[in-house]
Amino acid sequence: MITTPPKPTRTRRRLGRTFSRARWAAYHELLRIALEQGYAVLSLESWLTDPAIAADRPRLLLRHDVDQHPASALRMARIERELGVLSTWYFRWRTANPSVIESIAAEGHAVGLHYETLTRELLRRGLGADHAEALIPHARELLHDELAAFAERFGGPSRPVLSACPHGDTRVPGVHNGVLLLGEEWSRYGLRWDANAAMRKHPLDVWLTDRSAAEGGWKEGLDPIDLLVDRRSPILAVVHPNNWVSGPALWWDRALPGALHTGSDEPPLKLAARPPRRSPS
């Protein structure tokens, strides 16, 4: 028999992220309650592979975007290991630290590129959003090579890189990197899915993200514990590990730009064999 856990008391933070405490216990609590409520806690990729998986149970789908502070990904992965769940992780080039990705992939998690090709190229050229459409064909070629580089460095026969996901950039408002793979044949880029575009084919009950609030919180008035108690399903939780780390840890990460990240948005394309892009048959 499933019992409804008492709701934890919540107080709203009044200080900025840089003065906040780590919230790892809250993340552990979220997953623990999901499991107690009978949820199948699934990697996003596992659900995309088989949307009927665990259809007899409510489902919580986990996706992590590692935007900053890649060391925080290890802490979040440790919590998931303790609870026996897997997730899908997307790394930007600046957070694609080999030791972090190797550790996460070795535990059975899926990894992919959190690409920002179009906005990065606009910024590199000093162009604004009005030039984005004209730059799309070239950006797609760049993305093809980036994905090959990421797969060569972090994939392999036993754990191929199957998906990617776009990252936004507030410095180029109105431009969405996801347009590069929207409507494209993903296999031409070495992928099975673009994680955002693929979700258009699969109805969700709730798309939950910890980027809804300015300081890395859930949408105001939307308590994920309430959703779990109500057994809403399927829920996609897009979680950013750096939103759960403490302020002092973020200061340390910024003070040591060479620690646990590449420090650059530029892809190391020299790592890739860069096979010629196939033309559609």
Contact present, 238 and 63 (Cβ < 8 Å): yes
CB burial of residue 185 (10 Å; 0-12, 13-18, 19+): exposed
CATH numbers and ranges of domains, the chain: 21-49+56-216+229-251 (3.20.20)
Residue 215 or 127, more confident: 127
Q: Does residue 281 carry a pLDDT above 70?
A: no
Rounded CA separation 91/167 (Å): 9
Confidence band (pLDDT; 50, 70, 90) for 276? very low
- pLDDT band per the 50, 70, 90 thresholds, residue 273: very low
Per-residue pLDDT reduced to its tens digit, 103-159: 999 999 999 999 999 999 999 999 999 999 999 999 999 999 999 999 999 999 999
Per mean pLDDT, which range of 88-102, 112-126, 214-228 is the poorest?
A: 214-228
Cβ neighbours of residue 25 under 8 Å, at least 6 residues apart? none
Asked if residue 85 has pLDDT above 60, the reply is: yes
Residue 131 buriedness (CB in 10 A; 0-12 / 13-18 / 19+): middle
> Are 114 and 66 within 8 A, CB to CB?
yes
* Across 261-278, average pLDDT: 56
Each residue of 46-70: pLDDT tens digit? 999 999 999 999 999 999 999 999 9
Q: Rounded to whole angstroms, how far apart are CA atoms 51 and 234?
A: 10
Reply yes or no on whether the pLDDT at 73 is more than 90: yes
What is the reported pLDDT for 4? 47
Task: Output helix, strand, coil percentages for the chain, rounded to the nearest 5.
Answer: 40, 15, 45
Output the pLDDT for position 258.
42
Region 184-197: what's the mean pLDDT? 98
